[in-house]
Amino acid sequence: MTRNTRLRDRVAAAILDAAAAVLAQRGESASMTEVAAAAGVGRTTLYRYFPSREALLDTLAEEAFDELIGELVDADLDSVPVSEGVARVSRIALGQAAKYQALMCVQGKPDVSDETVRQLMAPLTSLFARGAADGTWRTDLSAGTLLGVYTALLEGALNQALHCKLGVEPAAAAITSVFIHGAKARRPVFNADATSSFPAEP
């Protein structure tokens, strides 16, 4: 990578970071002039990188998904117990929402390519399949069904901006606790005075 290429990458990254911050503060009223000022560049430079507000928002959305995918990969979900993996996913998703929530409000739900969806879901699919294999999950629902329930719960938390109301860590802990409580395998408890066993509440 040449020096000029590295410089362009740094400038583009600074503009995107500034855009996320300005959108978080100003919402739909955020202007390209404010983004340029926050990034420490002139309007001419800003428009050289992003010819329109729409181009900036589209690139910022792509950056958000790339960052989310990278964080999921870096979380090393295969190396931790399944419950801890779910907790990590919750923290990552809600942390990203806290950073990019304003973008979603301004731009609406972005179009996501099939490849992006595949990259997002691959580590979660693997995590939930492992939970089914090692006995973490209840057996009356498939790993795919439980993953659907979890993602729906997470999406509901994002739509309700739970991270704004509770904070990222408490919101992630709440989502994880609610899901794990309902999804984990029930352990039988044997009563010495009875001949049958009953599933214990987790």
55-75 burial, b at 16+ Cβ within 10 Å, e below that, comes to ebbebbbebbbeebbebbeeb
- pLDDT bin (cut points 50, 70, 90) of residue 172 is very high
Please tell me the CATH superfamily of domain 58-199, with its number. Tetracycline Repressor, domain 2 (1.10.357.10)
pLDDT range class, residue 108, cuts 50, 70, 90: low
Region for residue 27 given its phi and psi (left: phi exceeds 0; alpha: psi -120 to 50; beta: otherwise)? left
Under 8 Å between Cβ of 15 and 50: yes
The CATH code belonging to domain 1-51 is: 1.10.10
Name the pLDDT band for 196 (thresholds 50, 70, 90).
very low
Q: Are residues 188 and 167 in contact, defined by beta-carbon separation less than 8 angstroms?
A: no
Tokens 């419950």 belong to which residue? 83
What is the residue extent of each domain of the chain? 1-51, 58-199
9 vs 183: which has the higher pLDDT: 183
Q: Write the pLDDT tens digit of every residue in 111-134.
A: 778 899 999 999 999 999 999 999
Mean pLDDT, residues 30-41 taken together: 93
Mean pLDDT check: name the lowest of 120-124, 142-146, 161-165.
Answer: 161-165
Residue 188 has pLDDT above 80, yes or no: no
- pLDDT above 90: residue 182: yes
Residue 20, pLDDT above cutoff 80: yes
- Name the band, by pLDDT with cuts 50, 70 and 90, for residue 6: low
